[in-house]
Structure 1
Amino acid sequence: MTVKKYLFFISQNYSFAILRPLQKAIIERGGEVRWFLYGDEINHAFLHDNELALTSIKAIKQYQPIAVFVPGNTVPSFIPGLKVAVFHGFNSGKLNRRGFEDHFNIRGCFDLYCTQGPNTTNKFHALAQQHGHFSVVETGWPALDPLFTDVEHDKIKANNKANILMCSTFSRNLTCAPILLETIKQLSSTGRWQWKIQFHPKMDAEIVKQYKAIESEHLTFVETDNVIPLLQEADVMLCDTSSVLIMFVLQGKPVVTFNNISPRDYMLNISQAEQLAPALEKALTRPKALMANIERFICETHPKQDGHSAQRVLDAVDSMLAGQLINRKKKPLNLLRAFKMRRSLGYWGR
């Protein structure tokens, strides 16, 4: 029996946690995985000892994967295998330079999009009809499989204090981190709540330094490639416009946002630092109306909470490879993007 070979094409550290549930499902099915770490923003030390990496395009071509999974926006057309988009996060409403939602930017790189829930699936289906060169299957997001299957949900608090998790995007126009620094310093000094701080890996180094400087027995700064355990143990999240807030809400937990660019009724959005403590207090009471809004949002965004999204992604790939999903057009040539990718990867072969 031929072993199915798959490639993970990644350029950011958060991609490890996104793809490992998929790797687990592949291995359980008797397949094998190779990783390709691309660019200078990824830490090769995050690879586990039992995970194997390919170091060149030539090696990828020799490996001949049947499918390439990408949690980013682009992938070279000149490497073999079905190109599968599995997303690096949820649609948080961020707009690109042309004023369009970046989550739905079609770059002509993928054969298959594995979507997370109805509120993105429906739009991608419409885009598939428009473009014709990719298919869409709602699978759920493999990155969340451990969120719904691991036992961290039942972790008992050692100190009986509420846990507040603060996450923030790196964008200067959207981040709440510098604005709320002094307020969080003051609130953490009271010892009323237990704080953990975790930022996007691209966060400004000076801001990271400032938050590390206020660490105490009540506040911990966490650097990790796997945010899921932090999401599980927290009672409330403080965030801005980072898509990680959606992962948190999908657990049925409240989030307080600061100047979110597109506030929704499942958030408690504030605009002033002095509103933070009252908002956190309110979130911890889990107001009935807010929790109803959160439940509705879950149904729209990621209703599949059985922990088997990775299996559905592999099923979708098998369906496309078996000819059960057919794209009516070929992907665009993307000559300029292909040239840039070749130049950045130093590869000029066929």
Structure 2
Amino acid sequence: MADYLLFATERYALPILQPLAQALQAAGHGVHAWFADGAASARLPEPVRMVGLREAVALRPRAVFSAANWVPPFVSGAKVQLFHGFNVEKRDDARGHFRVRGLFDLYCTQGPATTAPFVELAARHRHFAVVETGWPKLDPLFRDDDGAAAALRAPADGRPVVLFASTFTERLSAAPHLFEAIAAEVARGDRYWLLTLHPKCPPALFERYRTLEGPNAAFFETEQLVAAQRAADVLVADTTSVVSEFVVQRKPVVTFRNRAPKPHMLDFDDASALPQMLQRAFAPTPELQAALAAYADAIHPLRDGRASERVIAATEDLLAGRLGPLRSKPWGGRLRALQIRRELGYWGPGG
């Protein structure tokens, strides 16, 4: 039995890591988790063992799986990047999704749209490998093993279900602008609403949206997001990466002032138009359906719910040398490693 470490810095990483933890446990491995920063107080269900920084170093895991944009380099084992979302073009590529920080040995990509750019970067840098595995977070999207999606949908009592999700980035968030329009839709009651906000949204927004709970709407926390996506028929959102996650199911999405609107989105910029946009979403044209399918196949074509198993297999291939030799990490990565030690206040042994 080998020991593996899961690493996160935000609560929204938990649904990414949980399916992987289950797959590791099913294979008979020891699974440990060290959460820092915004995820420091979060936990994964037993038998995952929560550890601190020094325990993580002493563990000497076979691999560290990170759902953050960095990983503690002084912890031993292969460093595997799982990503904390899809590329939704919030920033330019050099600062965003395709930024190479010199910390990871393996990038487990979600689909061709992500794989191709990272394969090109790997050929240039030669200090990391790339394998298209699919995204562990979406494993439950295609399985619903525990019936969570069915439970969220049950109160709809046969009505269509709309999911609302919003990013925390103030200039991109739909939550402050759509509240009144959503409240009116909830009050009408012809559809059932599932409501959530990014954990970093202001507390006042959480309070406003929670007031909509009742026979026509439910508010849920981010840990239930994947189940809610499976339960819903249509998504209303903004530039959040939830849009891409939802589209993987080939279901319609209505976006408010999306930063980079695409043919698979029904984008609008006037809150009063929400009822009309919902009507279009619930009666998608053949052109919209084709755009949804094309985008889903580009970002995440694997629909078997076994991304976690492929991540584990890719990691074993890396460790066995089957992905080829890698160069040592560049100077920038070593400098970042020193910065991470300083930020965490750790100057002990490691690696």
TM-score higher than 0.5: yes
Residues of 1 paired with 2:80 and 2:40: CA distance?
23
- Alignment pair present for 1:65 and 2:61: yes
**In the alignment, which residue of structure 2 is the partner of 1:304?**
302
What is the CA-CA distance between 1:45 and the residue it aligns to?
A: 4.9
Residues of 2 paired with 1:203 and 1:33: CA distance?
31
**In the alignment, which residue of structure 2 is the partner of 1:234?**
232
Residues of 2 paired with 1:100 and 1:67: CA distance?
27
CA contact (8 A) 2:13 2:67 kept: yes
- Alignment pair present for 1:130 and 2:116: no
C-alpha distance after superposition, 1:119-160 (max 9, x if no partner): 110000011111111110001111111111226577775522
CA contact (8 A) 1:13 1:46 kept: no
- Alignment pair present for 1:341 and 2:337: no
**In the alignment, which residue of structure 2 is the partner of 1:141?**
135
- Comparing 335-344 with 201-210, greater Cα deviation is found at 335-344
Residues of 2 paired with 1:329 and 1:46: CA distance?
35
What is the CA-CA distance between 1:114 and the residue it aligns to?
A: 0.4
**In the alignment, which residue of structure 2 is the partner of 1:279?**
277
Residues of 1 paired with 2:311 and 2:157: CA distance?
40
What is the CA-CA distance between 1:217 and the residue it aligns to?
A: 2.3
- Alignment pair present for 1:164 and 2:162: yes
What is the CA-CA distance between 1:101 and the residue it aligns to?
A: 5.5
Is the alpha carbon distance of 1:38 and 1:154 closer, same or farther for their aligned partners in structure 2, counting shifts above 3 Å? closer
**In the alignment, which residue of structure 2 is the partner of 1:315?**
313
CA contact (8 A) 2:194 2:217 kept: yes
The match for 1:46 among 26, 31, 43 is 43
What is the CA-CA distance between 1:89 and the residue it aligns to?
A: 1.0
Task: Give unmatched runs, 5+ long, in structure 2.
Answer: none
Q: TM-score, normalized by length of structure 1?
A: 0.93
CA contact (8 A) 2:197 2:222 kept: no
- Comparing 211-220 with 24-33, greater Cα deviation is found at 211-220
Residues of 2 paired with 1:234 and 1:8: CA distance?
29
CA contact (8 A) 1:93 1:101 kept: no
C-alpha distance after superposition, 1:274-308 (max 9, x if no partner): 21111111101132211111111111111111111
**In the alignment, which residue of structure 1 is the partner of 2:216?**
218
Is the alpha carbon distance of 1:154 and 1:286 closer, same or farther for their aligned partners in structure 2, counting shifts above 3 Å? farther
CA contact (8 A) 2:11 2:42 kept: no
Task: Indicate the RMSD between aligned Cα atoms, in angstroms.
Answer: 1.8
The alignment-based identity, stated in percent, is: 39
Q: 3-state SS of the aligned residue for 1:9?
A: strand
CA contact (8 A) 1:21 1:310 kept: yes
The match for 2:87 among 86, 91, 94 is 91
Aligned partner letter, 2:345: G
